[in-house]
Amino acid sequence: MAGRQPRFNQTTLVDTTPLPADIPPVAEIGSSSAPLLSASFFIGARCKPYNDDFMQCKTESAGKGEVDCLKEGRRVTRCATSVIEDVNKHCLAEFRKHWQCLDNNNQQLWQCRPEEWKLNKCVFENLKLEKVIPDAPKGETPVHLRTRQIYAHNGP
Amino acid sequence: MPQDLPPVGGYEPVQYKRNLPARGFRPSVMLLGVAGIMTFGFYKIGKGIREQNELAREKMWSRIHLIPLLTAEEDRDLVRRHLADQKREEELLGSRTSPYHSDRFVRPTYAVTPSQKST
């Protein structure tokens, strides 16, 4: 429901009443899918405690999490926003290159490895956030670091 | 009238065997070659499947990292609409009555929009 704003000719069929004043406002993340996908592992690296907190809250307050977990949700959004802002501040060029590549390649991560390596390097140097894929088999190069991507159209 | 007899010295031998050259490799070599090609192919398939698994893992984890963020945003929107709904209901009916026999949050099926001028 939140994702796509319905458009009609006569009226905007969205209830635009704002949240009541006793619920603190928070700026939404406001970025589209490709930048989010590009930054997802950095968001995961920095915001894991908040994310886990939020998901635990949702699990424990079964059925009422929408209302009860607003506070945790605000924390999650603030943390993710901070990551996006930091990446924008330090690695804007690499970030843009990577998510535009993702946008042009059907959001397939393996098509954009060179851009991703540059972005990962920049983010690691400036923000100390590293992309780690959990549960990957040990003793192998992680997929995002392999120099030869089997499925890429024009491999690096 | 003399009878029809075989020629003197008998008939020529009848050629019943085909006289075709045996082309190509020996069958054993062919078999080995095919086995080799297939082994190589399966090896490449195995590699590809392993890589696909890893790529799928990467995709899933990228989504897992984003899900709390997206859920939080959606929940906030739902709660905003829910509270606005309840407020409207109270203004119109003077009381809040839940149609459900539980205090769980129920995602609305229908969205009521406040009346506004068409633009």
ipTM score: 0.86
**Nearest partner of A80 among A69, A91, A72, judged by Cα:** A72
Of B51, B78, B119, the CB nearest to A66: B78
| Integer Cα distance of A4 and A85 in angstroms | 24
Per-residue pLDDT tens over the stretch B81-108 = 899 888 888 998 998 888 888 888 988 8
Q: Touching check for B96 and chain A: CB below 8 Å?
A: no
B119: pLDDT strictly greater than 50? no
Per-residue pLDDT tens over the stretch B28-77 = 999 999 999 999 999 999 999 999 999 999 999 999 999 999 999 999 99
CB neighbours of A51 closer than 8 A, spacing ≥ 6? A44, A76, B65, B67, B68, B69
Q: How many CB atoms lie within 10 A of CB B14?
A: 6
pLDDT at residue B6 in the model: 83
Chain A residues with CB under 8 Å of B51 CB are 143, 146, 150-151
User: In angstroms, how far is the first alpha carbon of chain A from the final one?
Assistant: 39
Chain B residues with CB under 8 Å of A69 CB are 72, 75
Q: How many CB atoms lie within 10 A of CB A8?
A: 9
Mean pLDDT for all residues in chain B: 89
Of A28, A37, A70, the CB nearest to B62: A37
Per-residue pLDDT tens over the stretch B16-27 = 888 888 888 999
Q: Touching check for B76 and chain A: CB below 8 Å?
A: yes
A15: pLDDT strictly greater than 80? no
The whole-angstrom distance between residue A86's C-alpha and the CA centroid of its chain comes to 13
